[in-house]
Chain A
């Protein structure tokens, strides 16, 4: 058996793209958004449709339906669906498949009509499901209810404040102001967040992510194959995945994401880098509490110190820890399964394609996603060279 660490630097992300439009798109189906993103990512890589022999996808559509819509006949297909970070899991799964010789060019694709809700059935849990029996009767359906549990307990145990949560939204907006594709680009202060209506205490409306339509895609292939493609390859130094629970009543520790404590150490061990080597970090920001937990659970600071870590706009443009430079799910776009956009921005930062928001000399990036209610997690460490 291969030691997973031996896969470090052997694979690369060679194409990334969003759908043609992001935002409120009642004129486009989720499958069309998949298609646009896939076509754009293939073009970004300088590949052809016929080069794709692996398809990886998650969401309301089965991976087979997505591939069928695109007229693809892949020899490898993976529909792993663990929530919004599924696409980061797909990157690791694609590496495994390519390493085994089961495919060579993997298309990972996302499309979701999160806002317009075209071809999106309403929540259809049956009344005998675990979700309906033990969560739904208490109104614990919408993500903000359950994410609020984590913020409340973190505030109780570590003294984290609502103002510190607001710092995350403010720093993220400052990055969004530098991204022409970002949905929300107006100025934002901690006071604005604190004065916005409470959606579900302890969250204000501006502590919560956007709801948008959109798609995204990326292409993974071997470092060997990547060499003569259109763009400079972004090498995958380390990956890891993990899970802690599914339904919120089973969360082992309401102040920590167990999945991240599994995925993070594996990704760092495989990459052979330390926290100090990370130049830019992308975290899944469904709510302002989520990057705070990621910083703690991935070891950028001690447990309970995440809120202090983000204080004083340290993660904003000009701060010493550039984080969520696209404007995040809080201000750029959030289709429902935001993880794909984490990958896209990490790659663009390492290619130096980010214009005004470009982090100077970015060589190593960390991308970390979560799925469900801190249920699943995946971590990737990427670099613009095969070894950091």
Chain B
């Protein structure tokens, strides 16, 4: 695996539970108790109804590959080719990520294919949520 520790982000107060969850290998999402919607990225208030009555819930980790592109050369120290992706989570929000566990060839990929979360521990304290295709054999 490529060394990605230079990419470790620094959480802010409203995103800290997300990154703490990732470290535990749990995908945590903000959920609005007022309107019932999940959102991403984490914010101080619900972007739909502006309520601040929010709670953190563990997401299923399941989703669909909404769209992708495949840079051929290294970007920010991530060796190319790799799969840059947008995943639509089962709970509704979309998240930027990488698709892993599959060769970066468009022939292997299809929009809306089912994916599931995995975690990439890039440092001792930071894990990045990434996604892999759901194995049909499982």
Contact = CB atoms under 8 A, between A and B. Distances in A.
A138 B9 contact: no
Contacts of A146: 69, 84
A139 interface: yes
Interface in A133-161: 133-142, 144-153, 156-157
A308 interface: no
A384 B110 CA distance: 48
A247 B97 CA distance: 13
Interface residues of A, number: 39
Interface string A273-297: 0000000000000000000000000
Interface string B92-132: 00111110000000100011100000000010000010100
Interface of B: 4, 7-12, 15, 19, 40-41, 66-73, 75-76, 78, 81-82, 84-86, 94-98, 106, 110-112, 122, 128, 130
B67 A153 contact: yes
B104 to A, nearest CB: 8
Nearest to A134: B41
Contact of B128 (A126, A137, A144, A199): A137
Nearest to A254: B67
Given A144-B69, A254-B67, A139 B75 contact: yes
Interface in A75-131: 126-128, 130
B116 to A, nearest CB: 17
Contacts of A157: 111
Nearest to A199: B72
A189 interface: no
Nearest to B122: A137
A338 to B, nearest CB: 21
Interface string A254-285: 10000000000000000000000000000000
A128 B10 contact: yes
B76 A136 contact: yes
The 5 closest A-B pairs by CB, nearest first: A148-B69, A139-B75, A156-B111, A201-B70, A153-B67
29 contacts: A127-B9, A128-B9, A132-B9, A132-B10, A133-B15, A134-B95, A137-B122, A138-B85, A138-B96, A138-B97, A138-B130, A139-B75, A139-B82, A142-B71, A145-B75, A148-B70, A151-B69, A152-B67, A157-B111, A198-B70, A199-B72, A199-B73, A200-B72, A201-B70, A201-B72, A201-B106, A247-B41, A250-B41, A254-B66
Given A130-B41, A156-B111, A144 B71 contact: yes
B76 to A, nearest CB: 5
A156 B67 contact: yes
Given A139-B75, A148-B68, 20 more contacts: A127-B10, A128-B9, A128-B11, A133-B9, A136-B7, A137-B8, A137-B76, A137-B128, A138-B84, A139-B84, A141-B75, A144-B69, A149-B68, A149-B84, A149-B86, A150-B67, A157-B111, A200-B72, A203-B69, A249-B95
Contacts of A140: 84, 96
Interface in A164-214: 197-203
B111 A148 contact: no
Contacts of B122: 137
Contacts of B73: 199
Contact of A127 (B4, B8, B82): B8
Contact of B68 (A137, A152, A247, A250): A152
Interface centre among A128, A148, A201 (most CB of B within 10 A): A201
A38 interface: no
B62 to A, nearest CB: 18
Given A139-B75, A249-B40, A249-B94, A200 B70 contact: yes
A201 B69 contact: yes
A137 B68 CA distance: 15
A135 B94 CA distance: 12
Contacts of A254: 66-67, 86
Nearest to A142: B75
A141 B72 contact: no
A353 to B, nearest CB: 39
A137 B82 CA distance: 12
Contacts of B94: 249-250
A42 interface: no
